[in-house]
Amino acid sequence: MTPMEAIVPLLVALPLLTAAGIVAMAHVRPLAKFTSGVAVGVVAVNLVLSLVLLPARVGPIYIGGWSAASTLGIQINCDALAKLMLITVNLVALASLVFSLSYMRQFTKVWMFMSLLVFMVAAMNALVLAGDLFNLFVFLEVAAIASYALVAFGCEAEELEAAFKYLVLGTVGSTLILLGVGILYSLTGQLNMGLVAAGLRKLTLAGGKVGPAPLLAAACLIGGLALKAAMVPFHAWLPDAHPSAPAPISAMLSGVLIKASGVYAMARVVFNVLGPSGPYATVLMTLGALSMVVGVLLAVGQWDFKRLLAYHSISQMGYVVLALGAAAHVLSGPSPQVAVASVCLLGALFHLFNHAAFKSLLFLSSGAIEQQAHTRMLKEMGGLARRMPVTGFCCRIAALSIAGVPPFNGFFSKLIIIVGLAMAGYPVLAALAAFVAFVTLLSFVKVQRYALEGQPSASAAAAHEAPFSMGLAMVVLAVICLLAGPGMMVLRDWLFEPAGRVLMAGSAALIGGAP
Amino acid sequence: MNQHHGMTLIVKNTTRLVSGFIAVFGVYVALTGHLSPGGGFAGGVILASAGILVVLAFGREFSQRLVTETQYHLYDSSAMAAMIILALLGYLAGGFFVNFMNATSPQSVGESVGRLNSGGTIPLFNLAILVKVAGGLAGVFLALAAFRAGGRSQGADAPSVALPGGAGEKED
Amino acid sequence: MGIAIYLLTFAILLAGLYAVVAKKNVVKIIVGAAILDYAVNLFLVLIGWRTVSTAAGAEGGAAPILAAGQSGRQLLASAVDPLPQALILTSIVIALGVTALMVALALRLHEKYGTFDLENIRRLRG
């Protein structure tokens, strides 16, 4: 076992240990005040470790000293796609934790919050590293349970209602996923993703058709994961759950949880396990296009800032899933168009990363505004840019990024997605994506107009700048939003292109040890 | 039925008689988990059910005199920490979760198969899971029971907003 | 037997789904979610069932525990697949956590709204 391979399990073990440790520390008088610091520290260590892992080439790792030949060991899969997700998850988690150092002072029992948040980070790290379907399910559930509790953290009436709705729909989703995993196990006798993929290839009917049983499994899996990703027919829980949580949690949920447990898992299952083929690609594209359009149309009419942001999350995830579906479509069939698929995947993964940065920044700044102006309603705000210069500046950068204004990161990723769609032979969908980008811009002009510009309202007049740690978290994310656009080429070479190659390698990616 | 003073004498006496046996059986199921059906989780549930029986029969106040909420938290979290530390100790023998106490290779069944001292670290994991599950489950039940008895003021196991309506004070 | 038992599992699954989707009472929804979990667990335990055809007819379904003096190969010939059972144990643990959280939320909801009826628990819209 090389040193790099020894690092990988630590990404899960350290935060889990810390989550348990925080609970113990909170009950021991002299240690209780260090809980928040420990939480920030472990996530910072995680971020450093995942950056250290980035250039390394790490093959599949087997837990407990099992060998690859036995086909029984539990596999950890630290390929380029997992590395991209690790960096995204830990980056947003660190920003949210630093933000919550000041923000969470209005709540009691902050240690519970810290413990649950670190637990969620550990589960998401494990989720992206999981090399078998059942571990994917387990950590999806662990992350989800932590998030259910965090949504209900404030214990107000609306928060409890939202959390219950989220919990019930989440349970239905995870039951579907487990059913899909069970069917795949009964078909192939394996749970390891690579071996399941190999088993499914043997089951493929003549002419590349997928048999009915794998189709049922795929329907269960994609349905359940679409519920976790809040794709449009299954989106009802997200606009309630994400705004109800405390702001750092909204940032985590919208910023990374729906990506790790929804989009990432869907991409992994469709591309690497089931193998990209016609029906799956059509389903993904339909889900993506629907979410993109319906999400943004529902967002335009919202006056609650956080609710508006939540609807935009649905819409922006629609972009990612649409691009993934287009890539799956051009990869399926007898003559895969690898160049087109790589453009689509680059757009999808770049947009996923960008969305993590700007949406968590938007949610954090909405939290800062809510704390100062005591309202989430856009009409009751006003003139906040003068009262809270740092927050206002960061909020503007994020709004410009999500709206797709040229020098910012959102512009580039949306452009790549639109170009990719056009190249893949879907000019109508490309036009639709451009139209949705325009509506998004309009919606965020409204946010600027009502929240940041204009005359200060009664509630906004007393607002002050956010405390230092909140400002720091927002500035760091804003810098990432600013740099990710011009620095696209560097990021592409280091993060997105290797990750795209993992997805393009299809069902063969997980056996031979992908790049 | 009065929540604060527990159930009738018959229930109380029966609980006195059986709860100890239930607890011992729970520990037994966990300790022989590597040899027979059962294991840490099943044993923990049985052990917790002994505690739940005491809560039901004697009321919440009595059982909190035996084990407080803080202690449940500590059992729960320290058992989880112990499990992860056991897994991390595997690095000494070559990797995460490696069964470092097994003389033979982890894949092969040891020579003392069928004995209580076989299995390397697995019985230790079972023991940690026993404490974790028993503490967690009994703690959850106690929190829910506390909720029913007295609402949030009775130390219900969930956080609450310090200031209503999320109206945070200016900090720093 | 064969397919009928799977259809029965599917019926349980649909019953649970019906309770979750159509019922308006919080407690009934929690029961429905539990039924949903049980249906999937039942499905998983069924796919682990194996029979081995021997001279005396179909045989199998033994518990996957190595008895004293039994060789691994003998066990393999008669035992059911232990892996789905391990999966079920994990999924039961998860279901336990989810159910406990659901009950806690239901209690809190009752405290806030004074009812278990979802018709009256509707402060969020959109």
Q: Which of B129, B132, B142, B147 to mutate to test the interface with C (most CBs of C within 10 A)?
A: B147
Q: Give the position of tokens 């299954």.
A: A234
| Digit-coded pLDDT (tens) for A453-473 | 877 777 777 777 888 889 999
Percent of chain A with pLDDT over 90: 55
For A340, residues 6+ apart whose C-beta sits below 8 A from its C-beta are A327, A330, A420, A423, A424
Q: How confident is the model at residue B155 (pLDDT cuts 50, 70, 90)?
A: very low
DSSP for A376-387? Answer: -BGGG---HHHH
Q: How far apart are CA A476 and CA A40, in angstroms?
A: 15
In this predicted structure, the answer to whether residue B91 has a pLDDT above a threshold of 90 is no
Binary contact (C65, B41; C-beta < 8 A): no
User: What's the gap in Å between the CA of A170 and the closest CA on chain B?
Assistant: 21
* pLDDT of A23 above 70: yes
Q: Do the beta carbons of residue A200 and residue A507 sit within 8 Å? A: yes
Task: Tell me whether residues C107 and B114 touch, CB distance under 8 A.
Answer: no
- Look at residue B157 and tell me whether its pLDDT is greater than 70: no
Up-side HSE of residue A158: CA atoms within 13 Å toward CB? 14
Separation of alpha carbons A141 and A130, rounded Å: 13
Q: Of the ranges A96-100, A272-276, A486-490, B66-70, which one carries the lowest mean pLDDT score?
A: B66-70
Compute, in degrees rounded to 10, the torsion defined by CA atoms A248, A250, A251, A256.
Answer: 130
Report the pLDDT value the prediction gives residue B152, as an integer from 0 to 100.
44
What is the structure's pLDDT at A388?
A: 86
Q: Is the pLDDT of residue B101 over 90?
A: no
Tens of pLDDT, residue by residue over A169-185, are 999 999 999 999 999 99
| Res C60: pLDDT | 65
Long-range CB contacts (< 8 A, 24+ apart) of C117-122? Answer: C117/C24, C117/C25, C117/C26, C118/C24, C118/C25, C118/C26, C118/C29, C119/C24, C121/A161, C121/A164, C121/C26, C122/A161
CA distance A268 to A276: 10
Give the tens place of pLDDT for each residue, A377-396: 888 887 787 888 888 889 99
**pLDDT number for residue B153:** 38
- pLDDT tens figures, C3-45: 888 899 999 999 999 999 898 899 999 999 999 999 999 999 8
What mean pLDDT, rounded, does chain C reach?
Answer: 84
Q: Of C13, C102, C124, which has the smallest distance from its Cβ to A161's Cβ?
A: C124
Average pLDDT over residues A28-33: 86
Residue in chain B closest to C89 (alpha carbons) equals B41
Q: Across the strands, what pairs with A130?
A: A76
- Which residues in chain B have Cβ-Cβ distances shorter than 8 Å to A468? 172
Find residue A348's DSSP bridge partners.
Answer: none
CB A113, CB A107: distance < 8 Å: yes
Q: What is the pLDDT of residues A78-128, one digit of tens each?
A: 889 999 999 999 999 999 999 999 888 888 888 999 999 999 999 999 999
Buried b (16+ CB within 10 A) or exposed e, C56-74: eeeeeeeebeeeeeeeeee
d(CA A342, CA A345): 5
Which of B105, B159, B165 is closest, CB to CB, to A112? B159
Distance CA B124, CA B129 (A): 9
Q: Which residue type sits at A239?
A: P
pLDDT at residue number C54: 62
pLDDT of residue A351: 94
**What tokens does C100 get?**
């406990």
**A484 CB-near residues (< 8 Å, 6+ apart):** A353, A354, A357, A409, A412, A491
How far is A252 from A360, CA to CA, in rounded Å?
Answer: 7
Which residues 355-374 in chain A show a CB within 8 A of chain B? 370-371, 374
Tell whether the model's pLDDT for residue A219 goes beyond 70: yes
Mutate to test the interface with A, among B133, B161, B170 (most CBs of A within 10 A): B161
Residues whose CB falls within 8 Å of the CB of residue B31, separated by 6 or more in sequence, listed in order: B43, B116, B123, B126, B127
Average pLDDT, integer, range A363-379: 87
Task: Name the more confident of C21 and B7.
Answer: C21
A109 touches chain B (CB under 8 A): yes
pLDDT, chain A, mean:
89
Contacts of C90 in chain B (CB under 8 A): none
First to last CA, chain B: 51
Tell me the pLDDT band of B163, cut-offs 50, 70 and 90: very low
User: In this predicted structure, what is the pLDDT of residue B165?
Assistant: 27
Residues of C in contact with B37 (CB under 8 A): 63, 65
Given a cut of 60, whether residue A295 has pLDDT beyond it is yes
Q: Which chains contact C through at least 3 pairs of Cβ atoms less than 8 Å apart? A: A, B
Distances (CA, A) of A499 to A46, A84, A327: 20, 7, 13
Closest-CA residue of chain B to C102:
B144
Out of A179-188, A240-249, A335-344, B159-168, which region has the weakest mean confidence (pLDDT)? B159-168
Q: Cα dihedral angle (A341, A346, A352, A355), rounded to 10 degrees? A: -130
Tell me the domain boundaries of chain B: 9-102+118-154
What is the enclosing helix (H) or strand (E) of A271?
Answer: none
Q: Note the pLDDT tens digit of each residue in B110-135.
A: 455 667 777 778 888 999 999 999 99
Tell me the CA distances in angstroms from B24 to A249, B31, B46, B50, one per residue in order: 42, 10, 9, 9
* The one-letter amino acid at B162: A
Domain with residues C3-52+70-113, CATH architecture = Orthogonal Bundle (1.10)
Rg (CA), chain A: 22
CB A328 within 8 A of CB A320: no
Single-letter residue type at B72: Y
Q: How confident is the model at residue C124 (pLDDT cuts 50, 70, 90)?
A: low
| CA–CA gap between residue A292 and residue A94 (Å, rounded) | 28
Hey, where are the domains in chain C?
Answer: 3-52+70-113
What single-letter amino acid sits at B32? T
Q: Does pLDDT of B143 surpass 70? A: yes
The distance of B74 to chain C (nearest Cα, Å) reads 18
pLDDT value, residue B35: 81
Task: Enumerate the residues of chain A whose CB falls inside 8 A of the CB of residue B88.
Answer: 13, 17
CB A76 within 8 A of CB A129: yes
Residue B5 pLDDT grade (very low, low, confident, very high; cuts 50, 70, 90):
low
- Residues 132-161, chain B, touching A (beta carbon < 8 A): 152, 158-161
Does B94 contact C at CB distance below 8 Å? no
Does the beta carbon of A1 lie under 8 angstroms from any beta carbon of chain B? yes
- What are the CA-CA distances from residue A282 to residues A212, A276, A324, A329, A393 (Å)? 17, 10, 10, 7, 40
The number of angstroms, rounded, from the C-alpha of B144 to the middle of its chain's C-alpha atoms is: 16
**Closest partner CB to C40 (pick from A167, A182, A239):** A182
Q: Are A297 and A439 in contact (CB under 8 A)?
A: yes
pLDDT tens-place string over residues A129-166:
998 899 999 999 999 999 999 998 888 888 888 999 99
Instruction: Please report which helix (H) or strand (E) contains residue A405, including its range.
Output: none
pLDDT, tens digit, 9 for 90 and up, residues A348-358: 999 999 999 99
Q: Which helix (H) or strand (E) holds A139?
A: helix A133-151
- Residue A178 sits at the chain C interface (C-beta within 8 Å): yes
User: Average pLDDT in the B49-65 region?
Assistant: 84
Q: How far apart are CA A502 and CA A510, in angstroms?
A: 8
pLDDT higher than 90, residue B30: yes
What value does the mean pLDDT take over residues A228-256?
91
Q: How far apart are CA A320 and CA A349, in angstroms?
A: 7
Region of poorest pLDDT, from A256-265, A330-339, C14-23, C103-112 = A330-339
CA distances from A158 to A57, A110, A205, A242, B153 (A): 47, 20, 50, 12, 20
Q: What is the pLDDT of residue B103?
A: 55
Cβ proximity of A251 and A364 under 8 Å = yes
pLDDT confidence of C1, banded at 50, 70, 90? low
Q: Do C40 and A302 touch (CB under 8 A)?
A: no
Query: What pLDDT is attached to residue B1?
Result: 44
**Least CB-CB distance to C109: which of A161, A185, A186?**
A161
Exposed/middle/buried for residue A255 (C-beta within 10 Å: 0-12, 13-18, 19+): buried
DSSP assignment of A35-73: HHHHHHHHHHHHHHHHHHHTTS----EEGGG--GGGS-S
Residue A2's CB: how many other CB atoms inside 10 A? Answer: 11
Which whole number is the average pLDDT over C57-80? 74
- Return the higher-pLDDT residue of C80 and A323: A323
Choose among B78, B106, B170: nearest Cβ to A464.
Answer: B170
Residue predicted with more confidence, B42 or C73: B42
Better-scored residue on pLDDT, B21 or A232: B21
Tokens for A379, please give them.
Answer: 């009409």
- The answer to whether residue B108 scores a pLDDT higher than 60 is no
Pair type for strands A61-62 and C51-54: unpaired
